[in-house]
A and B are shown apart, each in its own frame.
Chain A
Amino acid sequence: MTQIMLQGMQIFFLFCAALCVLRFILGPSTPDRLVALNVLSGVTLGFLVVRGVAEGRVLYLDVALVYDIFGFLGFLAIARFLRDKLTGKGDE
């Protein structure tokens, strides 16, 4: 039963991730793409954690932890870069 539930949650997170990627590709404007990227990062984190518990290995959880931290930093950098590009600041 436990394995069935964990498998179902993995499939569900993969489904959500696929829909987020679709939104990321279709998104008509830049904020839409950023929203899709934000949701996608959270969904991927959840998938990694569920996968780690389903396999019973600690390695996936370490990867999820580092993915969370660096994903946040990368997201911050992307948002900052896009904002500077839009407002014309940061050219000096």
Chain B
Amino acid sequence: MSIREIFALISFIVSAVFGLAGVAGLFRFPGPYARLQAGSLCGTTSVFTAFIGVLILAPSWAIAFRIIIIMILFMVNAPVSSFIVARFTWESGTPMWKPKKKPRRRKAATAAGRKAAAEQATDAGTAEKGEADS
């Protein structure tokens, strides 16, 4: 196993992880905006990392230069088309996704947070007092 194959294997593994995350996000996220984020970011990163791995493995210079040109074009195309989808989604009046039980969760979170913060403050105060006394 040569050095080229090791680097290519690393970039392929990264590509597979990002691709699986992107496809999972495409199915798990609610709402078009969240899906757009998952698909565009993870999809672009996955394909681009696979390009880098293939570029390391390229058998000849002709293939390598073509891959570089494709990489440059892909770097221009993919974000622009994601932007076009986002603008289309915004202009077609799609509402943002909101969690259903938002107020109750927030109250509980803030109450728990206040309790924890108060406990921490009292602990710190007693500790400081103890240190000062000793």
Complex contacts, A9 vs chain B, CB 8 Å: 12, 15-16, 50, 53-54
Contact A45 B85, beta carbon cutoff 8 Å? no
Q: What's the dominant secondary structure at chain A's contact region?
A: helix
A17 to chain B, nearest CB (A): 10
Beyond A46-B51, A61-B63, A65-B69, is A34–B23 a contact (Cβ under 8 Å)? no
Residues of chain B lying within 8 A (CB to CB) of residue A49: 50-51, 54, 67, 70
Query: Which of B76-84, B104-112, B119-127 lines the interface with chain A?
Result: B76-84
Q: Could you say which interface size class chain B belongs to? A: 35 or more
CA distance A1 to B36 in the complex (A): 35
User: Which residues of A have CB within 8 Å of B26?
Assistant: 19-20, 23, 35-36, 39
Can you offer 11 A-B residue contacts whose CB atoms are under 8 A?
Answer: A5-B12, A9-B50, A19-B23, A35-B26, A39-B39, A42-B74, A45-B47, A49-B67, A52-B63, A76-B81, A83-B92
Task: Mark B residues whose CB is within 8 Å of A.
Answer: 1, 5, 8-9, 12, 15-16, 19, 22-23, 26-27, 32, 35-36, 39-40, 43-44, 46-47, 50-51, 53-54, 57-60, 62-63, 66-67, 69-70, 73-74, 77-78, 80-82, 84-85, 88-89, 91-92, 94
